[in-house]
Amino acid sequence: MWRGINESVAKVADETVREAMTFLENRAEARDAPGVGNRGVNLTAVNIDSSTPVLPARWRTMRSAPASGAHNMAVDSVLLAAARDAHAVGVWRTYAWSAPTISFGRHEAARAHFSAASIAAAELSAVRRPTGGRALLHGGDVTYSVAMPLDSRTPWTAAYRAVNAVLLAALRALGVDAHLALAAATPSVRPDGALCFAQPARGEIVVDGAKLVGSAVWREHGAYLQHGSILLRDCQAELLGAMRRNNDISDENAHGDVVGSHALEHAATLAGCLPRVPTWSAVASALESALINHVTAHPDGKIDDAPPILDEDVLARETQRFSDATWLWRR
């Protein structure tokens, strides 16, 4: 039964992502940006087995039908809360978006560059994530999330490396020559810095120095949440068209003077790395297979063939929280 649900979700997600990419690509026809090139980031392979001690032994995989930004963030928030139990099962979730949506990082100073009016004019939606990081545009991507218990003595960076190892294994299984960035010479990324895919940070997944996977994390009360975006095609330049202009003063949340000039180089994409762009469902399957291979390689590892149970009342409250303009425009 659960397999049938996953197949149904995959079919809807594939179609929704195709429609989103068409919409965003039509808006970007006049744009011209340089191709992916080496940006001086040091690259390294990763030892997949090094992630073993950090990840829990038991996991569930979950595919979610395309949904609004508020609903998607609410599900991740509910899964994070459930992971606070030290004996909780890790959940690897793959999902899509019902409409092209900008997501802001938890502490990102979004009002410095965007407003409700400028985003509406670009025909996009927006949501603020429970995790950190910077603005990115969802629609032509595969979004994943990982919620799991994490002992307070374990550095969050160890969990980050462990999850990225599974991501990297999945991408290499698809045929992508991806690596982890060792950006020791790259300045730290600030919440009010460049857009998410403009600059890789240490440990992120890159191809020829360009970011392929944008990830963000949050840790609280013995639980860890990581989620991110794997680009099928590069639609991130559409973020520039959604930024406030100096004459955009119609939104009471907008403040500051003139939005400075921005440049956004092309990110790495699966379309650019592979002979044929894979479907959303093909990427979701690769992620799940990489997780299963990793977990079941160890004696205590187990994948539970059942979806996590979400409290509908709690989910509704969390969806309302992420729908609230006060949360969206908190910074």
- List active site positions: 196
Q: Is 222 exposed, middle or buried (0-12, 13-18, 19+ CB in 10 A)?
A: middle
Closest CA to 255 of 40, 111, 68: 111
Angle between helical axes of 2-27 and 280-296 (0-180°, round to 10): 130
State how far Cα 72 lies from the chain centre. Answer: 11
Residues 6 or more apart from 249 whose CB is under 8 A from it? none
Measured distance between the N- and C-terminal CA atoms of the chain, rounded to whole angstroms: 43
List the 42-44 sheet strands across, edge first.
Answer: 42-44, 179-182, 205-207, 210-220, 223-231, 141-149, 90-97, 58-67, 302-304
Residue the block writes with tokens 């490396």: 161
Closest CA to 314 of 81, 68, 60, 67: 81
Residues 6 or more apart from 75 whose CB is under 8 A from it? 64, 67, 93, 95, 145, 310, 315, 318
Closest CA to 176 of 201, 145, 212, 146: 212
Residue the block writes with tokens 């606070």: 84
